[in-house]
Amino acid sequence: AQKVTQAQTEISVVEKEDVTLDCVYETRDTTYYLFWYKQPPSGELVFLIRRNSFDEQNEISGRYSWNFQKSTSSFNFTITASQVVDSAVYFCGRTSGSRLTFGEGTQLTVNP
Amino acid sequence: NAGVMQNPRHLVRRRGQEARLRCSPMKGHSHVYWYRQLPEEGLKFMVYLQKENIIDESGMPKERFSAEFPKEGPSILRIQQVVRGDSAAYFCASSQGVYNSPLHFGNGTRLTVT
């Protein structure tokens, strides 16, 4: 199976620190999409970003930024100046056709 | 602008009973996906459906689980003769069906089997 690996099970930081969540994926497809979702303590899944495999430009959205490196099959997510409200489980995912496969998630805890 | 609606939000069943989980996709979406999240685990794909068709059920357990998405009405995930190991959060997602379009998730149904 083509896996998505989030090596960091849990990360704990202090507010205002920057934090990077790693994501490495396997794929045999030439065309695919990469995603990040956030699952706050309330349990819902919040879509954060989708990235096409042909677009390796990094993206920034406010305090969030994503670094896509096709050569290393990585799609890392950085939160700058973290806040307590960022505390959540973050899932990285990769599509293969119509199916979206997720990593196991990274539990981020931001302490005040 | 209703998102993906799942109900019930919480469902408690005794061992051996049936559980029915409902999912209404976002307006304009004709593709539905079901995922399961066991306690302290990630999201696992179960099944992908279009209206009246099961496209990919490779993630569904072979027994007791079934899913449908009729022409009219919500998608239903049905679990017969539930066991304690079925306790999990079940998430439904929908998409427009355009290749690799984003999946929009509902808030999930938390099934507890006692």
Residues A42-94 pLDDT 10s: 888 998 998 888 888 888 889 999 999 999 999 999 999 999 999 999 999 99
* B63 touches B76 (CB < 8 A): no
Identify the contact set of chain A against chain B, taking CB-CB distances under 8 A. 31-33, 35, 37, 43-45, 47, 50, 52, 91, 95, 97-105
* B60-91 pLDDT tens trace: 999 999 999 999 999 999 999 999 999 999 99
- What CA–CA distance (Å, rounded) separates B82 from B98? 35
Residues of A in contact with B105 (CB under 8 A): 37, 44-45, 47
Chain A interface mutation, best of B43, B54, B94, B110, highest count of A Cβ atoms under 10 Å: B43
- What CA–CA distance (Å, rounded) separates B57 from B62? 9
Q: Judging by DSSP bridges, how do beta strands B88-95 and B31-37 pair with one another?
A: antiparallel
